[in-house]
Amino acid sequence: MQAITEIAKFTFSDAIRNKIFYGVFAFLILLFITAAALASVTMGRTELMISDLGLGSISILGNLMTIVIAIQALQQERESRTLYVLVTRLEQRWKYIAGKFIGLAAVLALQIILMCALLSLCITIFGNIFWQSYFQACLTTVLEIWLVLAVALLFAQSSSLFLAMLLTLAVDIAGRFTFTIRQLGEQSDNPVLQALTQAMYYVLPNLEAVNLRNQAGYITQYNWSQLVQILGYSISEIALLLCICSLIFQRKNLS
């Protein structure tokens, strides 16, 4: 556990000082300008528009930042040879993957929480906020980001910087349409296409299933059963992805 904690601490400390939060401040400024503009042109329920727009933006920005930060962090660690210094001190290599995930997950969660806090401030300026559904939306956005992080780590272990970014982005986008992909397959008469879309449905992480952003601003209570389901699904999917990632890393020649 000590090894995982130390690697997580290294990762967190390095990433948190990496000008990462400039992105958050840029987002904040953009958000206030948009909110002010919207308030002047909409008739009523301005806060709902700000909430939808803000949470959507946080998700997109968070996903993109996750892909860039996670893959770049791993590549830089390899290029700077820090990876060698860390791995040669470990009895098992999976601890490196676990530590890396925890460190990056903490940085990204902190970033999302900060952005959501700023957005809630912005919403309350223009109207009421339904805290329960807003909290659900923020929590599931963090889970979604962690899922994308696990995918990014998996690809970063097995391909080059550019290819890893491209593949993670592709999975990220496809992961939002898994239901649609399966439905398309079911409508087709081609058994190969049906099998392929079915396989994609089960293999790709279902990012739409962990999205409760649409409920923010409309529902006034916690949807506990849905939250537990999402939490269970996210944790098992992340664990599966990290296991595959560790297996690849364990067998990999670090040249």
Partner 1 sequence: MNPLIDVQHINLSIPTGHVLQKRKTILHDISFQVEQGTSTAYLGTNGAGKTSTFRILCGLMKPDSGKLIFDGKTMPHGLPPKRFGFMPEQPYFYKNLTPQELLTGLGRLSGMDNNHIEKGVQYWAEKLHFSKVLKQRLSTCSKGQVQRVGLAQALIHQPDFILLDEPLSGLDPIGRACVRDVIHDEIKRGATLLFSSHILDDAEAICDQVIILKAGQTVFSGDIQSLLSSDDKWIIKASWDKQPSDIHQHGEVKQFIDGNYHIRGSSMHARNAIIQSILNTTGATLISVEAEKKTLEHAFVDLLQRDKGEETYASHH
Residues 73-92 within binding reach of partner 1 (CB under 8 A): 77, 80-82, 84-91
Nearer to partner 1, 85 or 195 (CB): 85
Contact 250, 96 (CB under 8 A): no
* Closest CB 14 distance from partner 1, rounded Å: 4
Nearer to partner 1, 102 or 181 (CB): 102
φ, ψ for residue 91 (rounded to 5)?
-75, -40
* Closest CB 7 distance from partner 1, rounded Å: 8
Instruction: Give the chain's end-to-end CA distance (angstroms, integer).
Output: 27
Runs of H (alpha helix) within the chain? 2-16, 21-41, 46-79, 82-87, 94-126, 131-158, 161-174, 178-187, 191-203, 224-251
The amino acid occupying position 9 is K
* Closest CB 197 distance from partner 1, rounded Å: 27
Nearer to partner 1, 19 or 202 (CB): 19
Contact 165, 69 (CB under 8 A): no
> Rounded to whole angstroms, how far apart are CA atoms 15 and 160?
20
Among 30, 170, 203, 254, binds partner 1 (CB under 8 A): 254
* Closest CB 13 distance from partner 1, rounded Å: 6
Task: Collapse the DSSP code of 211 into the 3-class scheme (helix H, G, I; strand E, B; otherwise coil) and give the result.
Answer: coil
* Closest CB 6 distance from partner 1, rounded Å: 5
Among 2, 40, 220, 221, binds partner 1 (CB under 8 A): 2
Nearer to partner 1, 90 or 196 (CB): 90
| Sign of the alpha-carbon dihedral angle for 52, 58, 64, 66 | negative
* Closest CB 155 distance from partner 1, rounded Å: 16
Q: How many residues form the binding site for partner 1 (CB under 8 A)? A: 25
Q: For partner 1, what does the binding mask look like between residues 22 and 41, x meaning CB under 8 A?
A: --------------------
Contact 58, 26 (CB under 8 A): no
* Closest CB 20 distance from partner 1, rounded Å: 10
> Rounded to whole angstroms, how far apart are CA atoms 99 and 93?
10
Residues 6-25 within binding reach of partner 1 (CB under 8 A): 6-7, 9-10, 13-14, 17-18
Residues 123-152 within binding reach of partner 1 (CB under 8 A): none
Taking Cα atoms as reference points, which of 210, 186, 209 lies closest to residue 197? 186
Give the number of other Cβ atoms within 10 Å of residue 17's Cβ.
9
Nearer to partner 1, 95 or 213 (CB): 95
Q: Interface with partner 1 by CB under 8 A: which residues?
A: 2-3, 6-7, 9-10, 13-14, 17-18, 77, 80-82, 84-91, 253-255
